[in-house]
Structure 1
């Protein structure tokens, strides 16, 4: 109980404070929301880099951090220094160092860094002149894996932990018209208290893996907003807006939806907040069959932002998942964030187009983005395609459940992804964890995350990928015995009958007794196959074995009365240092329905056939 009480106080303080307005929430910070659609200046391109496994550019020989000293040594890499004369000793030089492309991971770009985990310093020189002298400028990062310290012109502007969520820093006072030096220390070492922790089953891609840009705003700007369909008032849109700046109080904000010929004027309070409720006469609801979106414009006297937003309701009733009040079956697939083009971390619109295109070809209306928040292209493209989305944070396997800093990190990542994607109609599920062993501290950890999530966004469903077990010790009857099952809206679990648990035909012997009156979703099942390897259906690693496994599992799972969807593991083979069987895995998890070369395996068509028969 002491841990729970401590975390309850964190809900009020660790990230600032949260405003609960009209069924949604906005967190107070400085990062402008919807950087995606704002005018910005990209810093994409080649940056200089230095590999620093001993962190000589960060600490002196006494292990004292340079950036905590009043007059740091010029040997601190973030100073980006040059010798004052030919006798001065400096032991680094960015100008003479190799270059690497940003955004991107270092593992796939530099063969010598393929397995490297540690510190790499990045440096970029740039010029920048503001459009208006009174404007503010923010340095925005889509993601950096996993911990980073950021310096501009020799001054530390901040740090961030979490490899898959966006963050930014205001740099208005530090920018120069010419000759800016941006230095980022990136460290992807796995640590026990981290989120994720030491042990995972995916590649730990290091680097500045998503976009970096300079975002310019007026002095008082629209920092955040939320617009959604009211859950309890059909035909009504609800929302809230937050301004940031010296003129944020008592400001008029106009919200317009031109296609609906609807607008409303609201007045901000002394904190820059305002809420609104907007009745609409005719509204096409967003769905997987009709992904209708409307352009929403929010404007003040100084700032204006707009984006395309779909409006829909997602809920559960008994055993059903309801999309706009109608039952929906989630025909899904799990996806890792790897590029089918470059064989590294995915980060481009083209990566998203290929991955979601394959999912659509498979017959999916749903994707599980595992096991961390994916890049923003994925959820925005899902919006336009009518693809329903499960998003999760990397609370994976064995997290340090009793460590307050571990919980803080998980909660911070949840806040950041919810803040980024709360206006995406495609996102219907926030997941708290994957395959975590049950214990009282773990259950409290996840329950606190669920409480936080519902306070930030009560308009979506909560789940987690749980584990199944034998009912009363009977291995032929499977069930879910997990106290966290009482917390979730959708009962999701992973099972690997036919792969880690017997052969595929064992599925014929298994029945399921799910006592919770909730929708059941199979978040993972599957098995490995080396594309092009053929044999009989009992020969492991062949396409025939994987095909047999899918056919038997689909028959078995169809017998679960509450079954309302699935996301088998996984769309495409992905890199994992855990998977080292020569000539078969070679560093790849082979459970994909498509090879890393983009070739479909036989099981792809088995699942496709099943989905084509589901309504």
Structure 2
């Protein structure tokens, strides 16, 4: 029985976790009671008590700063409260009930029927609570409290503005709930998580699963299908909370750029020949390997034509108005000749990664490190747990072809970054995922990294090209901060360039882009082609990343406007981006 409502009144009604699907769930998006708590005094005033109403209302999962929330309060909010009632089917009451949050910014506490069921720190990673013992027959009440302080230096804020107004390359803030809230029905012993490593060379995938509850003596079965046809089965006996098995495949269909060939995966837990739990998932077969200056995907040198995507929306801020909007952004990018994106200063929604998997779109996973002071080990304690949660959430997506935990780790208040923070995060990332390359910090200042990237917003194609010419003859590699980072022979690319300011409304003095504004559309396209061709033609560049896909508020250097309208003929941009690169096989 699927509890997903067909009502059009529920925003973002689609299943929020497409790689781990069960049929019994209830979407809790929609109208909640809401109140801003500027003094963080709500607990003293009893806001967590179920019998107290809040003064306002909000549409979840949209943040209160957004128009879609119905609140649209743009000033700083020290804390916010949410409240709503829910009921559960009688068929659920003999099993377990999990309460899931896709993301809440930043420090969260949750009560069910007046009892605190747990806390979570981190504005981008998911969390859940087992609320079985807290649920009663009839009406139940959820209360959510979230504190948020982007100016503290103690939390990753990404591109959320630390000033009252959105300014420069910082934009409208997000406070509180900004991804789907939902209930899930699971048995007393259930499949809790999975880590999947594809192995096309050996015609199999390796599964590492976690089981919650007492499942000793049960049998775990895994079945793979491609286009509805059975292509592999395996099963093992469950003897503890960790279960490992290898699933052989009779057919090999590689996941490739522009062709997201995906297998369906069915996982079942059996006891005495009865299915006690079942999960639907999917996977893609592909490999990623560094080879000299090339990054090989399925052993082919694929030039990464990336674009910077920051995941902002005019009406929803951090939250896409619909699932179709997530897919549309990828289709816009691919229509311009890009084959992937840096998901910039934000952990994107799982539904975005689902569409990237489906469409064969390369993405780099990144955290929202801006705003976090990493000049001392305190920064590590604030960063690493959430980064691990994000990696664990996203590990199985074939579209993710690399990790980049930090971006432009500038010094803080005159103090240098603590290099050990970057080193430890890099090493932990490699331990969790040895299958993908890791960039320690995009742009600066590299400490230990698999790939050496730089950011270069030079607007003159001639001087831009001249910087990289010596590399072709084995000469000096262009390094933006030679006093702070040293090149060690790694694969190399320019992971931010362009950012060309194009705003036909010259009277708008609030807007900005990089460098001088071109005087005409023709001048823009000439500059775009000159910069981009430099990187495509360079035999030591494995890719590029153009800034950016669409405008965001006052930053008007997108190829599309903020409301996703093309500024130029997409076919012209596509022609420039799509031609064969020097490093490609």
- The answer to whether residue 544 in structure 2 is matched with residue 566 in structure 1 is yes
Q: Are the structure 2 counterparts of residues 192 and 329 from structure 1 closer, same or farther at C-alpha, using a change threshold of 3 Å?
A: same
Measure the CA separation in 1 of the matches of 2:300 and 2:59.
46
Question: Would the aligned equivalents of 2:105 and 2:177 in 1 still touch at CA under 8 Å?
Answer: yes
Deviation at 1:269, TM superposition (A): 3.1
Deviation at 1:528, TM superposition (A): 4.6
Tell me the secondary structure at the aligned position of residue 243 of structure 1: strand
Deviation at 1:400, TM superposition (A): 2.7
Tell me the secondary structure at the aligned position of residue 106 of structure 1: coil
Of 420, 423, 426, the residue aligned with 2:399 is 426
Measure the CA separation in 1 of the matches of 2:90 and 2:299.
48
Deviation sequence 1:61-96 (CA, Å, 0-9, x none): xxxxxxxxxxxxxx31010335xxxxxxxxxx42xx
Counterpart for residue 5 of structure 2:
none
TM-score (norm 1): 0.78
Deviation at 1:560, TM superposition (A): 4.0
The farther-off stretch of 489-498 and 417-426 is 489-498
Deviation at 1:195, TM superposition (A): 1.9
Q: Are the structure 2 counterparts of residues 219 and 386 from structure 1 closer, same or farther at C-alpha, using a change threshold of 3 Å?
A: same
Tell me the secondary structure at the aligned position of residue 438 of structure 2: strand
Measure the CA separation in 2 of the matches of 1:52 and 1:440.
35
Deviation at 1:174, TM superposition (A): 0.6
Counterpart for residue 12 of structure 2:
none
Deviation at 1:491, TM superposition (A): 2.2
Of 143, 155, 158, the residue aligned with 1:183 is 143
Question: Would the aligned equivalents of 2:87 and 2:138 in 1 still touch at CA under 8 Å?
Answer: yes
Measure the CA separation in 2 of the matches of 1:210 and 1:526.
32
Question: Would the aligned equivalents of 1:107 and 1:344 in 2 still touch at CA under 8 Å?
Answer: no
- The answer to whether residue 433 in structure 2 is matched with residue 457 in structure 1 is yes
Of 66, 84, 87, the residue aligned with 1:127 is 87
- The answer to whether residue 33 in structure 2 is matched with residue 48 in structure 1 is yes
Measure the CA separation in 1 of the matches of 2:22 and 2:291.
36
The farther-off stretch of 557-566 and 395-404 is 395-404
Measure the CA separation in 2 of the matches of 1:609 and 1:314.
27
Superposed, which structure 2 residues align to 1:465-614 within 5 Å? 465-467=441-443, 483-484=446-447, 487-498=448-459, 506-511=463-468, 513-514=476-477, 516-533=488-505, 540=517, 544=521, 546-558=524-536, 560-575=538-553, 588-602=554-568, 607-614=573-580
Measure the CA separation in 1 of the matches of 2:555 and 2:546.
14
- Where do 5+ consecutive residues of structure 1 fail to align? 1-31, 61-74, 83-92, 469-481, 576-587
Question: Would the aligned equivalents of 2:502 and 2:524 in 1 still touch at CA under 8 Å?
Answer: no
Deviation at 1:401, TM superposition (A): 3.4
Q: Are the structure 2 counterparts of residues 417 and 435 from structure 1 closer, same or farther at C-alpha, using a change threshold of 3 Å?
A: same
Deviation at 1:36, TM superposition (A): 4.9
Deviation at 1:347, TM superposition (A): 5.8
Counterpart for residue 324 of structure 2:
350
Q: Are the structure 2 counterparts of residues 33 and 151 from structure 1 closer, same or farther at C-alpha, using a change threshold of 3 Å?
A: farther
The farther-off stretch of 158-167 and 512-521 is 512-521
Q: Are the structure 2 counterparts of residues 570 and 530 from structure 1 closer, same or farther at C-alpha, using a change threshold of 3 Å?
A: same
Deviation at 1:441, TM superposition (A): 5.4
Of 263, 286, 289, the residue aligned with 1:312 is 286
Counterpart for residue 262 of structure 1:
232
Deviation at 1:189, TM superposition (A): 1.8
Q: What is the number of equivalent residue pairs in this alignment?
A: 521
Measure the CA separation in 1 of the matches of 2:101 and 2:372.
28
Deviation at 1:315, TM superposition (A): 1.2
Q: Are the structure 2 counterparts of residues 340 and 538 from structure 1 closer, same or farther at C-alpha, using a change threshold of 3 Å?
A: closer
Of 40, 46, 62, the residue aligned with 1:104 is 62
Measure the CA separation in 2 of the matches of 1:57 and 1:398.
27
Deviation sequence 1:528-574 (CA, Å, 0-9, x none): 53543479x99527664654542332244346432111221111111
Q: Are the structure 2 counterparts of residues 508 and 360 from structure 1 closer, same or farther at C-alpha, using a change threshold of 3 Å?
A: closer
Q: Are the structure 2 counterparts of residues 508 and 563 from structure 1 closer, same or farther at C-alpha, using a change threshold of 3 Å?
A: closer
Question: Would the aligned equivalents of 1:431 and 1:464 in 2 still touch at CA under 8 Å?
Answer: yes
Question: Would the aligned equivalents of 1:505 and 1:549 in 2 still touch at CA under 8 Å?
Answer: no
Measure the CA separation in 2 of the matches of 1:493 and 1:57.
46
Counterpart for residue 442 of structure 1:
418
Question: Would the aligned equivalents of 1:379 and 1:426 in 2 still touch at CA under 8 Å?
Answer: yes
Of 228, 243, 248, the residue aligned with 2:211 is 243
Q: Are the structure 2 counterparts of residues 188 and 604 from structure 1 closer, same or farther at C-alpha, using a change threshold of 3 Å?
A: farther
Question: Would the aligned equivalents of 1:256 and 1:298 in 2 still touch at CA under 8 Å?
Answer: yes
TM-score (norm 2): 0.82
